[in-house]
Chains A and B, each alone.
Chain A
């Protein structure tokens, strides 16, 4: 069930209505039933995996808390890790592993062969396994008391607003909220609905429209010039941002309507002035997960420089693999690792260059250039993320310098649009959407708040005009075939 579907609208309205009409002590049961129903709308049998993962972690956490010795505690942690990572491996990575081994066999002449599995990737498996893993690890570390109420724990794993694409919530934040009673608060419900509407706008109007051009170029890059591929990459950068942050906004808004607070997942990532700042603004729930459960246990930055660099590389390679079992994602992660490793090493040179160009005297210009440079690096990595194969990605990067002189010729707009099979108005519309997004986000940032809070304090005709325009845009400016959320595949 997609968030941008009438089925979800009906489902959500029914759940909210019953939720606030029933006694608070049984609301967890309603949300749990609704969450499993929501999940079973894709492949019903896969709800058993969700249940299995829940039961294993529930039992493992209780056993860890009751364990008399450290050895026992460790053993139960291992059970949880093996079960969750085993699940992830079987459904997500096995075919990648088998194909890679087979390629290696062909290359070395060893003739290794593993049969491929025909299993379909369960929706949201990467998200809920990471959520349950964080719970087990926190209980093991003693930073969290295990939840004894199985229903509430099962709800923590399966809570429908964030079940299939995050944010990946920590038990310490979400579980206590399931124990509290949430009365109907009109202001909070309205705020949640506002955020859902904004998320839907980003997904349906911006992401889906930008996807048309990006998909055309990336699905058949042969013969396109660098200009086409650069535009497609910029469009993809904003497509994936609006797609995923739009989903997160809908998830956070839906949870807020019900009375729950989920963590912020995106904070204007394309305004970052360094790659590390980008990662503190992009998919924050996953970045902080890797920080807390991989990077810091490896030693974080409190180790030698070489060791720290290795830690970064490990974290970003794993992050790449988390996104998908393909070499393109691994290279995407590796590129970001290179950026992170190179950043402190190149800092003196960059400072020297800024002084030589006298940019340090114009801090605003320097800031704009830094943002553009980071955006360029991020886009270069997106080429690998989006390309259908590693060969395609290298082909696209190789073609990027070509064709720019054509922009100075007469009829440049038609020359850009023709191979991309779009009208010039579509191209202008795409850039207009990006400009609209950046302007809106910049305005909210200047005023120090989220758009929802910003709009809520406006005079009611202005407020209603904005709501009306957003709803009319969502209805009328979407594409004929709305695309599924990109992060569903992870």
Chain B
């Protein structure tokens, strides 16, 4: 005779198994269909439908345009034009970071839809608190969906993980985010709530200076999770036979230096060194465009960021095209224009 506790446990286990089976058999395919109907995977399908040689994974710096631009083409569009017979497609989205790029790479490898090369920005701001820890930019569920989009079983697990808040990972809640310390080099200069105030839209010199500190002047550590993701991307892509061109996005260093003379470029360069050292084994070496463009090429609205005017986007595309050609057709030489 089994004990009442064991009997109850057996019944509970049987119920959970029955529910799990229903979830996989009945609900899983519905979720699978729903996930593929979502924007990220529709974009993925559209991108892969072109059978591209090159996929440009990017954040909003790819598509954000200036109000006076004659042409509102993306960097990816210009890259495609520059590459001639090679086809370049894009997978981009606002605030995309290394985690999202890695998820797309995982899906490419899992589904066997591998381009010859990937082009990926290393946006220095994406390592900052403002981007890396902002709850709205965590995208944990999206990354999970993309990474496991080829599996019905994983699709069936998504609602379970979501309901019981398993997929949040280490995403902070808004209050904890606002409490995070903001650094200027190695000195704490306040908390996120002092710097990330949506009410302060008017860009006074003090606010611009604060934004520059908040966006770029953190001390980048080698074990930063987004940097680690770039490292993994490099390894996974190499193992899958995909070449990756990493480039550090241009930043408005002239405005930075004007507001924080000496300090701005010093910290930015220190952070770039950390990136380069982390990806030192990667071929080709990281293309550093951080100081390649003057202020006039940036489509700044309120505060400096990486959004570019048409000339800036065309310049980046040209640099990337040369690098991609050099990687895929090794006889070409890299050319770098310094302003």
Seen from chain A, the residues whose Cβ lies within 8 Å of a Cβ on chain B are: 2, 4-7, 9, 20, 120, 184-186, 189-190, 193, 204, 464, 467-468, 471-472, 474-476, 478, 480, 482
Q: Is the CB of B164 within 8 A of A464?
A: no
A7–B165 Cα distance when bound, in Å, is: 9
A480 and B15 in contact, given A2-B165, A186-B5 (Cβ under 8 angstroms) = no
Interface residues of B in 1-17 (CB under 8 A from A): 4-5, 7-8, 12, 15
B200 within 8 A of A: no
Cα distance A471–B162 when bound, in Å? 14
B219 at the interface (CB under 8 A from A): no
Q: Which of A120, A186, A471 contacts B4 (CB 8 A)?
A: A186
A-B CB proximity, top 8 nearest: A186-B4, A6-B164, A186-B8, A5-B165, A478-B163, A476-B159, A471-B19, A6-B166
Chain B residues whose CB sits within 8 angstroms of the CB of A190 once the complex forms: 8
- Chain A residues, CB < 8 A from B180: none
Q: Which residues of B contact A186 (CB under 8 A)?
A: 4-5, 7-8
Interface string of B12-33 (1 = CB under 8 A from A): 1001001100110001000100
B141 at the interface (CB under 8 A from A): yes
Distance A204 CA – B164 CA, assembled complex (angstroms): 10
Asked if B37 lies at the interface with its beta carbon under 8 angstroms from chain A, I say no
Q: A189-B8, A464-B18 are in contact. Are A472 and B162 (CB under 8 A)?
A: no
Residues of B close to A204: CB separation below 8 A: 163
For residue A183, which residue of chain B has the nearest CB?
A: B4
Task: List residues of chain B with CB within 8 A of the CB of A189.
Answer: 8
CB distance from B170 to the nearest CB of A (A): 13
Which residues on the B side are within 8 Å of A475 (C-beta)?
19, 23, 27, 159-160, 163
Chain B positions near chain A (C-beta within 8 angstroms): 4-5, 7-8, 12, 15, 18-19, 22-23, 27, 31, 141, 159-160, 162-166, 175
- Chain A positions within 8 Å of B15 at CB level: 464, 467-468, 471
Are B165 and A482 within 8 A (Cβ)?
A: yes
Partner of B22, one of A2, A9, A472, A478: A472
Instruction: State in angstroms the CA–CA spacing of A189 and B12 once bound together.
Output: 11
Collect the chain B residues with CB atoms within 8 Å of residue A120's CB: 175
A185 to B4: give the CA distance in the assembly, Å: 8
What A residues does B23 contact at CB under 8 A? 472, 475-476
B165 & A6 in contact (Cβ 8 Å cutoff): yes
Determine the chain A residues whose CB is within 8 A of the CB of B175 once the complex forms.
Answer: 120
CA distance A480 to B164 in the complex (A): 11
Give Cα distance in the complex from A7 to B163, angstroms. 12
Report whether A480 and B7 are in contact in the complex, using a CB–CB cutoff of 8 Å.
Answer: no
Q: Report chain A residues within 8 Å CB of B159.
A: 475-476, 478
Dominant SS at the A interface?
helix
User: In the docked arrangement, what's the CA distance between A204 and B8, Å?
Assistant: 25
CA distance A1 to B339 in the complex (A): 54
Known: A468-B19, A468-B22, A472-B19. A5 touches B5 (CB 8 A): no
B8, A476: Cβ atoms under 8 Å?
no
User: What CA separation (Å) do A480 and B4 show in the bound complex?
Assistant: 38
**Is the Cβ of A184 less than 8 Å from the Cβ of B5?**
yes
Interface pair B141/A480, CB less than 8 Å apart: yes
For the complex, give the distance between the alpha carbons of A464 and B5 in Å. Answer: 19
- Complex Cα distance, B108 from A342, in Å, reads 69
Query: Helix, strand, loop or mixed for chain B's interface?
Result: helix
B56–chain A nearest beta-carbon distance, Å: 28
Asked whether B164 lies within 8 Å of A5 as measured between CB atoms, the reply is yes
Tell me the complex Cα distance, A204–B165, Å: 11
Let me know if A468 and B18 touch, CB within 8 A: yes
How far in angstroms is the closest Cβ of chain A from B39? 14
Chain B residues near A184 (CB-CB < 8 A)? 4-5
B5: chain A residues within 8 A (beta carbon): 20, 184, 186
CA distance A198 to B278 in the complex (A): 51
Check B8–A478 contact: CB distance below 8 A. no
In the complex, chain A residues whose CB is within 8 Å of the CB of B22: 468, 472
Residue from B12, B18, B160, B163 in contact with A4 in the complex, judged by beta carbons closer than 8 Å: B163
Residues of B within 8 A of A464 (CB): 15, 18
Q: Using Cβ atoms and an 8 Å threshold, which residues of chain A touch B18?
A: 464, 468
Per the bound structure, the CA–CA distance linking A2 and B27 in Å amounts to 26
A190–B18 Cα gap in the complex (Å)?
Answer: 17
Query: Considering only CB atoms, which chain A residue lies closest to B157 in the complex?
Result: A475
Closest chain-B Cβ to A468's Cβ sits at a distance in Å of: 6
Residues in B with CB closer than 8 Å to A9 are 164
Within the complex, the shortest CB–CB distance from B176 to chain A, in Å, comes to: 10
What would 12 more interface pairs be, CB under 8 Å, given A6-B166, A482-B162?
Answer: A4-B164, A4-B165, A5-B164, A184-B4, A186-B5, A190-B8, A468-B15, A472-B23, A472-B27, A474-B163, A475-B163, A478-B162
- Kindly provide the distance from the CB of B177 to the nearest chain A CB, expressed in whole angstroms: 14
- Compute how far the CA of A193 lies from the CA of B12 in the bound complex, rounded to whole angstroms: 10
Cα distance A467–B22 in the bound complex, in angstroms: 13
| 12 cross-chain CB contacts under 8 A | A4-B163, A5-B165, A7-B165, A186-B8, A464-B18, A468-B22, A475-B19, A475-B159, A475-B163, A476-B31, A478-B162, A482-B162
**Contact assessment for A482 and B163 in the assembled complex, using a CB-CB cutoff below 8 Å:** yes
The CB with the most chain A CB atoms within 10 A, among B7, B31, B162, B175, is that of B162
Q: For A7, what are the chain B residues with a Cβ–Cβ distance below 8 Å?
A: 165
Residue of A nearest to B7 (CB): A186
Please name the residue on chain A nearest to B142 by beta carbon: A480
* A402 shortest CB reach to chain B, Å: 30
In the complex, which of the residues A9, A184, A204, A476 has the most CB atoms of chain B within 10 Å of its own CB atom?
A: A476
Residues of B within 8 A of A467 (CB): 15
When distances are taken between beta carbons in the complex, the residues of chain A under 8 Å from B19 are 468, 471-472, 475
**Across the interface, which residues of A come within 8 angstroms of B160, CB to CB?**
475
* Contact partners of A472 in chain B: CB under 8 A: 19, 22-23, 27
Residues of chain A with a CB closer than 8 A to B163's CB = 4, 204, 474-475, 478, 482
Closest to A468 in B: B19
Residues of A contacting B7 with CB < 8 Å? 186
**A368 shortest CB reach to chain B, Å:** 36
> What distance in Å separates the Cβ of B287 from its nearest Cβ neighbour in chain A?
37
Report B224 CB to chain A, min CB distance, Å. 26
> How far apart are the CA atoms of A472 and B165 in the complex, in Å?
16
CB distance from A282 to the nearest CB of B (A): 27
Give chain B nearest CB distance to A483 CB in angstroms: 11
CA distance A464 to B27 in the complex (A): 18
Q: Give the residue name and chain of the A residue nearest to B179 (CB).
A: A120
Of residues A472, A475, A482, which shows the largest number of chain B Cβ atoms within 10 Å of its Cβ?
A475
Q: How far is the CB of B12 from chain A (nearest CB, A)?
A: 8
Q: List residues of chain B with CB within 8 A of the CB of A6.
A: 164-166
Question: Which of B12, B18, B159 has the most chain A CB within a 10 Å cutoff?
Answer: B159
Q: A120-B175, A468-B15, A475-B23 are in contact. Are A480 and B8 (CB under 8 A)?
A: no
B75 to chain A, nearest CB (A): 30
- Residues from chain A with a CB closer than 8 A to the CB of B31 are 476
Question: In the assembly, what is the distance between CA of A383 and CA of B301, in Å?
Answer: 38
* B166 neighbours in A (Cβ, 8 Å): 6
Which single residue of chain B is at the shortest CB-CB distance from A187?
B4
Closest to B166 in A: A6
Query: Taking CB as reference atom, which chain A residue is nearest B27?
Result: A476
A175 to B19, CA, bound (A): 38
Chain A residues whose C-beta falls within 8 Å of the C-beta of B27 in the assembled complex? 472, 475-476
